[in-house]
Structure 1
Amino acid sequence: MSDMSQSAALDRRERVRNGLSRRHRGEAIFRGIGIAAIAIALALVGTLFWQVLSKGLPAFTQATLHLDVTFDEDVITAGPAPLRSDYASAAQYEAAFLDWRRALAGINWAALIEQAVRAEMPELDAEASDIRRLVDNNAGLTLRQMYQDDPALLNQTLNVALLGSADTDNWLKGTIDRSLPDARQQLSAVTRAIADRFAADGVISMDFAWHIFTNTDSRTAPASAGLAGAFVGSLYMMLVVVVLAVPIGVASAIYLEEFAPKNRFTDLIEVNINNLAAVPSIVFGLLGAAVFINYFRLPISAPIVGGLVLTLMTLPTIIIATRSSLRQVSPSLRQAALGLGASRTQMVFHHVLPLTLPGILTATIIGVAQALGETAPLLLIGMNAFVANIPGTPLDQSSALPVQIYLWQGNENRNFFEARTSAAILVLLGLMITLNAIAIFLRTRLERNK
């Protein structure tokens, strides 16, 4: 009997030991799978960021020619700028000044650039068209604006920084294969030789491309295309979202969670809010086009329309996140406030809401950052139209950063705009990271002040 008991005890110990071994082995496998999943996710994110950074960072420098340009009076035949003292009335002066500006517009400013290039290479034997392909199409406009601002430059020589063309930038950065035959090159052999010579002599340098942040998009001069218009348009849209979505969303969440009666009607509202949070963003674009543009006749491609569409899309996220923060407050706090004689409104706004501000603020900024990166609804309301001006108000036509990325990605000059697209992505990511950093900072600050 004792032998049987001892044998049974040994069997139980063996079964327990085997069970523990299987459990430990299962835990180790699960832990390994979890670590592998995290490693794969980090590797994929790292690969994505590396691809964007490796392609985008070179776009922040651009080929720039530093030429000694002489404002030759033989070329600039518009004469001196009119003086106010020479005219009896302001109207006569304005008319004369406009005539002078029209005369400046008719001058061949590219001839000044050609003279400067030939002065750098006296032995150069090239056609004027080969030299002009070296610089951006807006280089002549740069010289015209300089002379218009300071007519005293006539017959003076000034070292001027002029943007190289997109093709010149491609050639010097090596984004086009140098071994391709001439028929497949973007620049002629003469222009390529000039670019290489100037790069070796320091006439062409890779300077920081400030114009990406200060210029608007351009179709005629791709080298000078920038994000200023799209950036301002995105800021206007985010302003509309913050002004409308945040107070409406937070107020709706407070009412539904703290004041609304629990009945079928409020249950229906809650179900619809949850469903709206899962609706594809392109549906909101269709709604915005049908309601705000076709019915209310708001202007197409305006930040006000984009902001309204993104407001509708962001509202469910803010409402759900705010209600979740309100639910995390202990019921004992509400009961204590009511027990001490506070009204329901005082209980909510004086005791509950201050505790939920960090969570509400974080959810709000994350919702706004999410709206910042939306593209599909903006395409449907016409914000993919080419706009060459910086919008002055939310009612002016504009583009947006995600849409500008979409447009540049489809540009036919892929060698140049592939890098410029990645640079725009970096700007958008930087703006989104800034918003998230602000959210984290404010949340931490509010949590410390509790």
Structure 2
Amino acid sequence: MTDTTFTSAGQAAQPVRRDIGLKRRYAAERRFRLYGIAAISVGVFFLCALLWSVFSQGYSAFWQTTIDLAVRIDEMVIDPKKQRTTDPNVLITANYPQLVRNALAERLGVDKNDRMAMRDLGRFYSDGVRVQLRQMVMNNPDLIGTTQTIPVLAAANIDSAFKGQIDLSVPEANRKVSDRQIAWMKKLKDEGAMYQAFNKGLFGFGASSRPETSGLGVALVGSFYMMLIVLVLSLPIGVAASIYLEEFARKSRFTDLIEVNINNLAAVPSIVFGLLGLAVFINFFGLPRSASLVGGLVLTLMTLPTIIIATRAALRAVPPSIRAAALGLGASRTQMVFHHVLPLAAPGILTGTIIGLAHALGETAPLLLIGMVAFVADIPATPMDPATALPVQIYMWANEAERAFVERTSGAIIVLLLFLAVMNISAIILRRRFERRW
């Protein structure tokens, strides 16, 4: 009786223990899911905070305050000594900002003898009108003596005030925009002569000490040249090296050493490649500093390990049966690789290449060491000309003291993020479009 009673109690306790164990496992699974959701939520929160901080400060960089102004191209201002107005030396040295200042004074009813008012007028528009008007007159000297309606860029402080980035309620002594300039802004805005237009100069201008005439033109062209060089060099070299190591090379200590070094190079800090480029391409081969060619070569060295690793992974993903079938039908090893294996691995190779290019596009440290941080105002015509890159331009603008460069910096970050997003999305789409599951 006693044994039977204990046995029945033990059998009854076993389902209870199993139920407790199942509840614990289910509770642990729920906690794990909550941890995962919490981790993703934290990541999404910081990503949204980053994007908000960049876009909230940078969207205004794509708009520039502009003033439509009827400017009389006065011959007495361009040629006060009454020399020949067709002489290029006379046209180059003319005081073109005075033409805009006189036009503004006439438009706003300002007494030209009032020095303080004329000084405020000189700070109302961008000094970039000097180049703008000079180019117009040199291209067509017949404009001298006529009145032309010209879109004039506002000065950086006026632009910031017009966009609401400067608190105009503080005392005049504590802000960079005077009460007189605020009254002029309101008058021109009410008349429709002062407005915000799309900032084409952000994509066309080069480097400048004035925020309103600073742009990404040099950086965009320099980045294009560098990415072209990286693509032309790293793709064929990386694919060829991968094919040899994966399909033709015999396994030995030498090939193992190469594989280890390739994996190590993929983890080397990018600044080391900048030091290598400085020592080899500039100091040894004598290539020009700040040139897109040198930047492209340095980024090629940095991108090669990524492309080789991605290509080898794509080649390994092709089933051995494809190779066996090709060889069984009489194809040579070279035909097997280039006619069967390589086309099937192409989507993975293309994805790895795009990701490598996106990585190279966002690099800054190696380009700083080879001198691409130089002040370059003219858009480069060839890869041998001085240039900068998008991340380097962001770095230079971030170090500027003027307030107006803050929005330029954030605007440049937005442009860079858009390029990187397009490249990564393209890689994902191509992978899903052409990927084959075996």
Is the pair's TM-score, using the shorter chain for normalization, greater than 0.5? yes
Q: 1:352 to 1:78 in 2, by over 3 A?
A: farther
SS of 1:282 mapped into structure 2: helix
Instruction: Measure, in 2, the Cα distance between the counterparts of 1:304 and 1:144.
Output: 33
Structure 1, gaps ≥5 residues long:
83-95
Instruction: Verify the 8 A CA contact 1:78 1:104 in the aligned structure 2.
Output: no
Range moving further from structure 2, 148-157 or 363-372: 148-157
Instruction: Verify the 8 A CA contact 1:80 1:151 in the aligned structure 2.
Output: no
Instruction: Verify the 8 A CA contact 2:372 2:387 in the aligned structure 1.
Output: yes
CA deviation after TM superposition for structure 1 residue 81, in Å: 12
Structure 2, gaps ≥5 residues long:
none
Instruction: Measure, in 2, the Cα distance between the counterparts of 1:366 and 1:380.
Output: 24
SS of 2:286 mapped into structure 1: coil
Q: Paired residue for 1:117?
A: 104
Q: Does the alignment pair 1:269 with 2:271?
A: no
Q: Does the alignment pair 1:108 with 2:95?
A: yes
Q: Does the alignment pair 1:402 with 2:391?
A: yes
What is the identity, as a one-letter code, of the residue corresponding to 2:316? R
Q: Does the alignment pair 1:218 with 2:220?
A: no
Instruction: Measure, in 2, the Cα distance between the counterparts of 1:258 and 1:430.
Output: 38
Structure 2 residue corresponding to 1:70, chosen from 69, 72, 77: 72
Q: Paired residue for 1:12?
A: 14
Instruction: Measure, in 2, the Cα distance between the counterparts of 1:394 and 1:80.
Output: 44
Runs (4 or more) in structure 1 with deviation over 6 Å come to 78-82
CA deviation after TM superposition for structure 1 residue 78, in Å: 7.6
Within-5 A mapping of 1:300-315 = 300-315=289-304
Q: Paired residue for 1:165?
A: 155
Q: Does the alignment pair 1:374 with 2:360?
A: no
Instruction: Measure, in 2, the Cα distance between the counterparts of 1:391 and 1:144.
Output: 22
Q: Does the alignment pair 1:149 with 2:135?
A: no
Instruction: Verify the 8 A CA contact 2:76 2:82 in the aligned structure 1.
Output: no
Structure 2 residue corresponding to 1:425, chosen from 387, 391, 413: 413
Within-5 A mapping of 1:235-246 = 235-246=224-235
Instruction: Measure, in 2, the Cα distance between the counterparts of 1:74 and 1:370.
Output: 56
After TM superposition, the score normalised by the length of structure 1 is 0.91
Within-5 A mapping of 1:12-161 = 12-77=14-79, 100-122=87-109, 126-161=116-151
Instruction: Verify the 8 A CA contact 1:134 1:195 in the aligned structure 2.
Output: no
What is the identity, as a one-letter code, of the residue corresponding to 1:54? S
Instruction: Measure, in 2, the Cα distance between the counterparts of 1:245 and 1:133.
Output: 50
Identity %: 51
Instruction: Measure, in 1, the Cα distance between the counterparts of 2:381 and 2:149.
Output: 34
What is the identity, as a one-letter code, of the residue corresponding to 1:381? I
Q: 1:81 to 1:433 in 2, by over 3 A?
A: farther
Range moving further from structure 2, 30-39 or 362-371: 30-39
SS of 2:67 mapped into structure 1: strand
Instruction: Measure, in 2, the Cα distance between the counterparts of 1:234 and 1:78.
Output: 45
SS of 2:243 mapped into structure 1: helix
Q: Does the alignment pair 1:3 with 2:32?
A: no
CA deviation after TM superposition for structure 1 residue 416, in Å: 0.5
What is the identity, as a one-letter code, of the residue corresponding to 1:69? V
Q: 1:322 to 1:230 in 2, by over 3 A?
A: same
Q: 1:79 to 1:369 in 2, by over 3 A?
A: farther
What is the identity, as a one-letter code, of the residue corresponding to 2:226? M
After TM superposition, the score normalised by the length of structure 2 is 0.93
CA deviation after TM superposition for structure 1 residue 2, in Å: 4.0
SS of 1:250 mapped into structure 2: helix
Q: 1:78 to 1:332 in 2, by over 3 A?
A: farther
- Deviation string for 1:20-55 (max 9, x for gaps)? 000000000101111111121112111111111111
